């Protein structure tokens, strides 16, 4: 059967009329901030206290956009007769976001949880050279990182927490025991 002439035009106009009668959902960005999903990849935040300058993030980065400088510092012995230790001290941690492809490999390989995804996305610059952000700026973004989601109520308790809880219970029981025999001796006198 041959199509009716002009049926395509009528269908197109019907779609246009339906669309014109609906309320628009466009948000005016600078005036209204968008509601971002919880796992939005904005920029990378640095929790400097956890960084041990192991350089894994810089080595694994496919774009080589992470720059780390450090120096060694000698730490005196903790106990008399012990030996001095040396540790790395972070001097510079910078990420060049003009090179970064936001793959997240640096965050995944960090064994000390020093890098996190921040939902911050407003870091545009007029000069591309200003997209290299140093550790102070990365630290500011760290405080915008959302808290991790709560554990599933039916999930098994993590072994670290279970071990810590058992140790605390043993310590509390050990502290309670010496007071009980002392009271018994006081009653005998």
Each residue's pLDDT expressed in tens, for the chain with a length of 189 residues: 777 888 889 999 999 999 888 888 888 888 888 888 877 888 999 999 999 999 999 999 999 999 999 999 999 988 888 899 999 999 999 999 999 999 999 999 999 999 999 998 888 899 999 999 999 999 999 988 888 877 788 888 888 888 888 989 998 998 887 654 555 554 554
Residue among 170, 161, 98, 82 at smallest CA distance from 130:
98
- What pLDDT, on the 0 to 100 scale, is given for residue 176? 83
What global pTM score does this model have? 0.65
Residue 126 falls in which region: left (phi positive, over 0), alpha (psi -120 to 50) or beta: alpha
Measured CA to CA in angstroms, residue 47 lies from 118, 135, 159 at distances of 11, 9, 25
Residue among 144, 135, 157, 115 at smallest CA distance from 67:
135
Instruction: Give 3's contacts (C-beta < 8 A, 6+ positions apart).
Output: none
SS3 110: coil
Burial label, 141 (beta-carbon count in 10 A; 0-12, 13-18, 19+): buried
- What pLDDT, on the 0 to 100 scale, is given for residue 133? 95
Using CA atoms, how far apart are residues 179 and 155, in angstroms rounded to an integer?
38
- What pLDDT, on the 0 to 100 scale, is given for residue 189? 44
Contact assessment for residue 56 and residue 107, using Cβ atoms and an 8 Å cutoff: no
Rg (C-alpha) for the chain, rounded Å, is 30
Contact assessment for residue 66 and residue 58, using Cβ atoms and an 8 Å cutoff: yes
Residue among 63, 138, 57, 137 at smallest CA distance from 99:
63
Give the alpha-carbon dihedral of 38, 44, 48, 50, to 10 degrees.
60
């Amino acid at each position: 059967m041959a199509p009716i002439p002009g049926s395509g035009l009528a269908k197109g106009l019907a779609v246009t009329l339906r669309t014109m009668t609906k309320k628009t959902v466009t948000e005016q960005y600078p005036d209204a901030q968008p509601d971002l999903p919880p796992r939005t990849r904005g920029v990378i935040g640095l929790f400097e206290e956890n960084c041990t300058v192991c350089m894994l993030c810089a080595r694994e980065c496919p774009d080589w956009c992470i720059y780390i400088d450090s120096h060694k510092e000698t730490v005196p012995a903790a106990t008399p007769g012990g030996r001095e230790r040396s540790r790395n001290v972070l001097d510079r941690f910078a990420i060049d976001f003009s090179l970064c492809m936001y793959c997240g490999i640096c965050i995944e390989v960090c064994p000390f949880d020093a890098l996190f995804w921040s939902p911050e996305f407003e870091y545009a610059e007029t000069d591309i050279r200003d997209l290299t952000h140093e550790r102070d700026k990365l630290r500011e973004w760290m405080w915008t990182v959302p808290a991790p989601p709560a554990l599933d109520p039916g999930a098994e308790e993590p072994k670290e927490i279970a071990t810590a809880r058992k140790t605390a219970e043993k310590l509390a029981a050990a502290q309670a025991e010496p007071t009980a025999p002392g009271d018994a001796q006081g009653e005998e006198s």
